[in-house]
Amino acid sequence: MPRKILPSLALMLTTGLTTTQVFAQGEWYRPTEPPAQLRQAHGIYQQALQAFSMGDDNATINLCRQAENYSHGDKNICHLMALAYARSGDNYNAMLKFRAALQLDYNFVPCRNNYGIFLKKTGKDTEAMRMFEECNKIDPNYPDAYYHLGEIYRDKGDLDKAIDLFETATRKNPNYVDAQKDLGLAIYERYTSGQGGTIDDSIEKLQTAEKLMPTNPIIHYHLGNIYCADGKLDEAEAEFRTALSNDVKCAPAHWELARVRYYRGDPNRCLDEIKQASKINPLYTDTKKWPHVDPLAMRTMAAKSLEFEGRNIDSVEAWKDVAAMTRNNADVVKHIAEMEKALRANANKKRKGNQYDPEEVNALVRKGLTQVDDGDMDGAKQTFNRVLELDPQNFDATQNLGAVLEAQGDLNGASAKYQAAMALQPKYDGCIYNFAYLLEKMGLPADAGLKYQEFHEVAGRYPYDPKHIVSLQQEEARKRARQEQIKKRGY
């Protein structure tokens, strides 16, 4: 049963069992049953509503059948039976009951809306559209039908029409969370496809939905994704973390947070999020109708992160998984062979220079990361400095010390640490992206643009929508061109 049916049903629940005259295709239906029978039907119907709310479709159907024996022409009983049949997968009987309810009352808008949802679910979009359009004619102020009609237009690729319908739904009901959310997403989709609009309009609508339902994790997830596309990784991380605080089993939020941390030069905590996402049963994600997480993409990022963390044995195993999941895997197999060769060579080498306890260093790094998560930046700074006393070449401590300095507003200090981290891990593309992001924060768009370009040359593609980066580079080029013109004209 589609998730949209239940909100529409709630409107019907407030009316209770109707025993008054109703209009049906030009005819009046007058209940002929004695009042005692109607009261009996009402009591059984209330039990059926309770069974439906508990997800017991069989009990709902059986109780509705009993209620029908006492009130043969009650539209609400037919409607509830249709909903129960539809949710249980009995499409034939669902269709019969939806039609029966609408024969009893042609103007029964909640039922007609739910019938449209049912038709859409069963692939009959044209018939569904007619149902929603008829709802709008009967009751122009009923927001659900505008919203569901907008969904169909969005699926067909007509974003302008979809946005118009979503906007109408939100005007009719400003507190319509799904309409506000999907309006924001449709505006963003139109923006990314180059059909007009701005990313700020999309963010505004999603923020409205967020205020209406602050505990909805998927709204925070979508807002985080759009912040990533807009080059606002700090805001994106905050949204993904908020999503997970509302539902720790939101796998897509774990995955996107992992990606943000990878591209901010933090492979350690990237691995933490990938581990959490991998534990979540995909059936839970399906039940919530959330975006799926690509297992190959997750395993590939895990393999890279393990390699940058120096956990080469674990990285080799992860790369082998990637090879098994990839059709054209010659490059991956070659990389595995190179890593295994390096592991054999390193096994025969004796450690030179300062000696330290790796377990102590790893424990301190983990302590520092926990302090960062808890907001104890001064404590984290002391911890990472202690790691560098023990192991001056420690990548995690160097990079995360830069992150602490950035959080404290010392961007120049952060820049120095990030550059040192890049020198320790020159192949880590996430460090390059992270440094470009810092340069942008420092108000150095030309340098940031060059660094983003360097990232593209190493990684082969940008991780998010590149419009923000392209705009940054174009703006700097225009600025230089204006300066040249001013110089030539002698202003």
pLDDT score recorded for residue 475: 73
Helix (H, G, I), strand (E, B) or coil at 142: coil
Does residue 108 register a pLDDT over 80? yes
**What angle separates helix 5-13 from helix 75-88, to the nearest 10 degrees?**
160
74: Cα within 13 Å, side-chain hemisphere: 28
Report the pLDDT averaged over residues 102-110: 94
Report the pLDDT averaged over residues 242-266: 97
Helix (H, G, I), strand (E, B) or coil at 24: strand
214-287 and 358-489 share one fold: yes
Buried b (16+ CB within 10 A) or exposed e, 237-247: bebbebbbebb
pLDDT score recorded for residue 385: 96
Closest C-alpha to 298, from 254, 266, 340, 264: 254
- CATH architecture of residue range(s) 214-287: Alpha Horseshoe (1.25)
Average pLDDT, the chain: 89
Report the pLDDT averaged over residues 345-361: 71
Q: Confidence band (pLDDT; 50, 70, 90) for 348?
A: low
- What whole-number distance in Å separates Cα of residue 409 and Cα of residue 413? 9
Report the pLDDT averaged over residues 265-292: 95
Paired strand residues for 24 = 27
Closest C-alpha to 168, from 150, 190, 187: 150
Q: Confidence band (pLDDT; 50, 70, 90) for 360?
A: very high
CA angle 132, 138, 139 (to 5 degrees): 85
Q: Which long-range contacts (CB under 8 A, 24 or more apart) does 96-102 make?
A: 101/75, 101/76
pLDDT score recorded for residue 87: 95
Contact (Cβ atoms closer than 8 angstroms) between residue 159 and residue 189: yes
pLDDT digits (tens, 9 = 90+) for 366-416: 999 999 999 999 999 999 999 999 999 999 999 999 999 999 999 999 999
The burial class, CB within 10 Å (0-12 / 13-18 / 19+), for 6 is middle
pLDDT score recorded for residue 490: 63
- What whole-number distance in Å separates Cα of residue 187 and Cα of residue 198? 8
Does residue 219 register a pLDDT over 50? yes
pLDDT score recorded for residue 350: 53
Q: Are strands 27-29 and 22-24 parallel, antiparallel or unpaired?
A: antiparallel
**What angle separates helix 109-121 from helix 143-155, to the nearest 10 degrees?**
20
Q: Confidence band (pLDDT; 50, 70, 90) for 23?
A: very low
Question: Residue 179: CB partners within 8 Å, gap ≥ 6?
Answer: 143, 146, 147, 150, 166, 169, 170, 173
CA angle 398, 403, 408 (to 5 degrees): 125
Closest C-alpha to 99, from 78, 117, 113, 128: 78
Q: Where are the domains of the chain?
A: 214-287, 294-347, 358-489
Does residue 78 register a pLDDT over 60? yes
- What whole-number distance in Å separates Cα of residue 143 and Cα of residue 129? 14
pLDDT score recorded for residue 354: 56
Does residue 136 register a pLDDT over 70? yes
pLDDT digits (tens, 9 = 90+) for 312-327: 999 999 999 999 999 9
Q: Confidence band (pLDDT; 50, 70, 90) for 349?
A: low
State the DSSP code for 442. T
Q: Confidence band (pLDDT; 50, 70, 90) for 28?
A: very low
pLDDT digits (tens, 9 = 90+) for 420-479: 999 999 999 999 999 999 999 999 988 999 999 999 999 999 999 888 888 877 776 677
Q: Confidence band (pLDDT; 50, 70, 90) for 32?
A: low
Paired strand residues for 230 = none
pLDDT score recorded for residue 12: 38
Does residue 70 register a pLDDT over 70? yes
Alpha helices in 213-309 (DSSP H): 217-229, 233-246, 251-263, 267-279, 282-288, 295-308
CATH of segment(s) 358-489: 1.25.40.10
Q: Confidence band (pLDDT; 50, 70, 90) for 214?
A: very high
Alpha helices in 355-466 (DSSP H): 358-373, 377-390, 395-407, 411-424, 429-441, 445-459
pLDDT score recorded for residue 285: 94
pLDDT digits (tens, 9 = 90+) for 137-190: 999 999 999 999 999 999 999 999 999 999 999 999 999 999 999 999 999 999
- Which is higher by pLDDT, 20 or 221? 221
The burial class, CB within 10 Å (0-12 / 13-18 / 19+), for 424 is middle
pLDDT score recorded for residue 401: 97
